[in-house]
């Protein structure tokens, strides 16, 4: 099976026999939705392939290829009257450089669009009655001249813009959050970018531009150029399009079965499907409880690697998506940003917003009364949070969609709470736990390093989640484990579960189960210094601590029984109750 990993060229995919999961049935819906459309999805989620499919469908120059390209697909069996009726121009703003001064970016944008205009004239010269000279310094003039040429030809133009906000987002997120001048010069006021969208809007007012379809990641840039381009219909959260750029489980299962058969491993199909579900599923792009969808790039990455070697990929995070980490860095640098990341990482704590904003500019993320909700909404558009349900008062519950994204959160939070020179020592202590079952070195490390970063102002909000986060950031290891926080075990929930990935069971690593409890100092009627002076054995005998240990032991035995039933004799489970006493001490017991 030929997986089109990294390939967004529809013509090549169909012509060379690559796998294509049909999304052409969306075309009638898109035509009915409007003449100017905006569709947002996270990066590496299949937007470019969608744009390429539309390009091939509407391009008048591809009319002779229609049956070969679309005849076997849904739209080929019932095409719309508009197929192959347009001169098509495509812009991909990910090609516009983002470095240098604003003037450098300005020139790059003009040069890119002029290059696309020259290519357009070359492709359609036999249909055009005249020609235009692309203006080196002013691509807007070139574009307006081109529209005049298109009108004179008797044809109409369909403009496709892929990654409309790519270079603007790069400029925004690479700058200081308190000094966004470069971004503002490009986008707001009478910036270069806004001027381009004014030209596009003008072109759709009877000047030869008949339709436009724009993809991007977030609504920020479009909101900031709103007076320049306020005619687009936003399709992002339409339930009908939830899986337009994502895969359903029903679509993936036959692919998994096929690879398993190719590798002569049919008994591995269910296991592989579970791995793909845990690591790559969970994104939702509608508000009314839609079916979660899988990230297509990650699915193809997994299946291609598995097919080539008949072994699961060791690294579940595709390197092409690792740059999403920088988006979390950007968010965490805002006021309230770090708190949002911590809340998301703690699955037991409900992270919610009154609404997922559909129109908000960069400036709103700096306003004290709006920044939390806007930052959380932006994380949804970036693909590192997703809508998980509704609150009792009608708000929206947000959660991390899957474990591959949770890893990015764990890495960022670890970087925020622990100096770089201590991170390796902490991870070495963590390894002693899952390799040898030694809990004390990890507790010692946390007591000596991470607990001391908290001070009195943290006490009012401290609970077991605070300490679970500290452990999770150090223990997170998706190469060896299916890591989960608050794993659902038949309506019982374990704080932290580390189940070995199937292919890692050939090593002597352990499955780990941890339940966390917290006892505030006021409950013990002891000072921090007095707690530090007690031995661990003495602390465990204190009534409030003993009560928490006993409760944790009961919970862990219940969870362990359910895990044993699910995974059987292959499980090498070690279970621990960890009790934090204020921010001073950690005591633990192993539960058998």
Query: For 247-293, how does the pLDDT look when each residue is reduced to its tens digit (9 = 90+)?
Result: 999 999 999 999 999 999 999 999 999 999 999 999 999 988 778 99
Q: Cβ distance 45 to 246 under 8 Å?
A: yes
Q: Pick the range with the lowest mean pLDDT from 205-214, 338-347, 401-410, 437-446.
A: 338-347
Q: Is the pLDDT of residue 135 over 70?
A: no
Q: Characterize the bridge pairing of strands 157-162 and 87-92.
A: parallel
Q: Characterize the bridge pairing of strands 585-591 and 492-500.
A: unpaired
Closest CA to 203 of 264, 243, 147: 147
- Does 116 fall in a domain? yes
Average pLDDT estimate for 202-209: 89
Confidence of residue 299 (pLDDT cuts 50, 70, 90): very high
Same domain, 546 and 513: yes
Question: What own/partner pairs with CB < 8 Å and gap ≥ 24 does 458-466 have?
Answer: 458/583, 459/520, 459/582, 459/583, 462/518, 462/520, 462/583, 463/518, 464/495, 464/516, 464/517, 464/518, 464/580, 465/346, 465/348, 465/349, 465/516, 466/518, 466/580
Same domain, 228 and 129: yes
- Does 364 fall in a domain? no
pLDDT at 489: 42
- Does 220 fall in a domain? yes
CA distance 351 to 360: 20
CA distance 248 to 303: 15
- For the residues of 310-377, what is the DSSP string, one character each? SS--S--S-GGGTTHHHHHHHHHTSTTHHHHHHHHH-TTSPEEES---SS--GGGGGSTTTHHHHHHH
- Does 73 fall in a domain? yes
Residue in the structure block whose two tokens are 């968010």: 331
Same domain, 77 and 164: yes
- Does 267 fall in a domain? yes
Same domain, 79 and 228: yes
Same domain, 80 and 217: yes
Same domain, 310 and 205: no
CA distance 113 to 93: 9
Helix (H, G, I), strand (E, B) or coil at 482: strand
CA distance 52 to 55: 5
H helix intervals, 132-268: 139-153, 166-174, 181-187, 192-203, 220-224, 249-262
Token pair in block for residue 297: 């790039």
pLDDT at 169: 84
- For position 35, which CATH number holds? 3.40.50
Residue 154 CB partners (closer than 8 Å, separation 6+): none
Same domain, 255 and 314: yes
Same domain, 233 and 84: yes
Q: Please provide the average confidence, as pLDDT, over all residues in the chain.
A: 89
Confidence of residue 491 (pLDDT cuts 50, 70, 90): very low
Q: Is the pLDDT of residue 176 over 50?
A: yes
Confidence of residue 362 (pLDDT cuts 50, 70, 90): confident
pLDDT at 178: 63
pLDDT tens-digit series, residues 530-558: 999 999 999 999 999 999 999 999 999 99
Closest CA to 76 of 84, 67, 86: 67
Handedness of CA 465, 466, 469, 474 (dihedral sign): negative
Find the domain containing 457 and state its range: 418-591
Confidence of residue 134 (pLDDT cuts 50, 70, 90): low
Closest CA to 493 of 513, 479, 507, 470: 513
pLDDT at 173: 82
pLDDT at 535: 93
Q: Is the pLDDT of residue 586 over 80?
A: yes
CA distance 96 to 112: 7
Closest CA to 404 of 574, 536, 244, 283: 283
Same domain, 160 and 40: yes
Closest CA to 401 of 278, 242, 291, 488: 278
Q: Pick the range with the lowest mean pLDDT from 100-104, 236-240, 485-489.
A: 485-489
Same domain, 504 and 568: yes
Same domain, 231 and 254: no
Same domain, 233 and 263: no
Counting residues of the chain whose pLDDT is more than 70, the rounded percentage is 92
What is the count of structural domains for the chain?
Answer: 3
pLDDT at 322: 67
């Amino acid at each position: 099976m030929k997986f089109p990993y990294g390939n967004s060229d529809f013509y090549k995919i169909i012509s060379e026999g690559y796998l294509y999961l049909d999304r052409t049935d969306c075309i009638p819906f898109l035509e009915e939705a409007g003449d100017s459309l905006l569709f947002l999805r996270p990066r590496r989620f299949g937007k470019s392939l969608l744009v390429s499919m539309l390009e091939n469908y509407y391009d008048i120059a591809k009319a002779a290829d229609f049956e070969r390209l679309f005849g076997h697909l849904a739209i080929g069996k019932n095409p719309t009257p508009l197929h192959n009726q347009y001169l098509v121009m495509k812009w991909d703003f990910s090609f516009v450089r983002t470095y240098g001064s604003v003037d450098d970016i300005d020139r790059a944008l003009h040069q890119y669009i002029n290059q696309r205009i020259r290519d357009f004239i070359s492709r359609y010269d036999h249909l055009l009655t005249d020609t235009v000279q692309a203006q080196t310094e002013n691509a807007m003039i070139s574009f307006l001249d081109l529209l005049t040429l298109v009108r004179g030809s008797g044809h109409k133009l369909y403009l496709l813009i892929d990654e409309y906000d790519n270079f603007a987002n790069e400029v925004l997120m690479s700058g200081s959050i308190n000094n966004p001048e470069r971004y503002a010069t490009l986008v707001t006021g009478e910036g270069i970018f806004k001027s381009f969208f004014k030209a596009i809007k003008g072109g759709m007012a009877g000047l030869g531009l008949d339709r436009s379809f724009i993809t991007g990641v977030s609504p920020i840039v479009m909101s900031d150029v709103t007076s320049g381009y306020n005619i687009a219909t936003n399709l992002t959260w339409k339930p009908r399009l939830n899986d337009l750029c994502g895969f359903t489980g029903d679509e993936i299962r036959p692919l998994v079965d096929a690879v398993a058969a190719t590798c002569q491993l049919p008994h591995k199909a269910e296991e592989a499907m579970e791995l793909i579900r845990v690591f790559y599923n969970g994104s939702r792009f509608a508000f009314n409880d839609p079916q979660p969808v899988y990230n297509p790039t990650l699915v193809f990455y997994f299946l291609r690697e598995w097919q080539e070697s008949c072994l699961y990929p060791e690294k579940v995070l595709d390197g092409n998506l690792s740059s999403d980490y920088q988006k979390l860095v950007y968010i965490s640098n805002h006021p309230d940003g770090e708190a949002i990341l911590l809340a998301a990482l703690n699955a037991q704590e409900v992270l919610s917003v009154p609404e997922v904003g559909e129109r908000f500019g960069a400036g709103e993320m700096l306003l004290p009364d709006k920044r939390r909700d806007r930052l959380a909404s932006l994380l949804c558009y970036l693909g590192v949070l997703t809508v998980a349900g509704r609150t009792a008062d009608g708000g929206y519950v947000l959660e991390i969609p899957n474990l591959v994204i949770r890893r990015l959160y764990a890495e960022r939070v670890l970087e925020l709470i622990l100096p770089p020179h201590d991170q390796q020592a902490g991870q070495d202590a963590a390894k002693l736990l899952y390799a040898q079952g030694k809990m004390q070195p990890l507790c010692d490390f946390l007591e000596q390093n991470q607990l001391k970063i908290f001070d009195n102002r943290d006490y009012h909000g401290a609970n077991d989640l605070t300490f679970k986060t500290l452990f999770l950031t150090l223990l997170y290891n998706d190469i060896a484990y299916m890591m989960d926080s608050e794993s659902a075990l038949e309506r019982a929930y374990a704080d932290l579960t580390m189940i070995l990935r199937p292919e890692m069971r050939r090593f002597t690593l352990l499955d780990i189960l941890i339940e966390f409890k917290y006892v505030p100092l006021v409950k013990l009627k002891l000072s921090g210094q007095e707690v530090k002076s007690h031995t661990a054995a003495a602390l465990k005998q204190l009534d409030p601590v003993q009560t928490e240990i006993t409760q944790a032991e009961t919970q862990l035995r219940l969870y362990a029984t359910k895990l044993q039933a699910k995974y059987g004799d292959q499980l090498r489970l070690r279970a621990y109750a960890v009790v934090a006493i204020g921010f001073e001490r950690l005591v633990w017991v192993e539960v058998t």
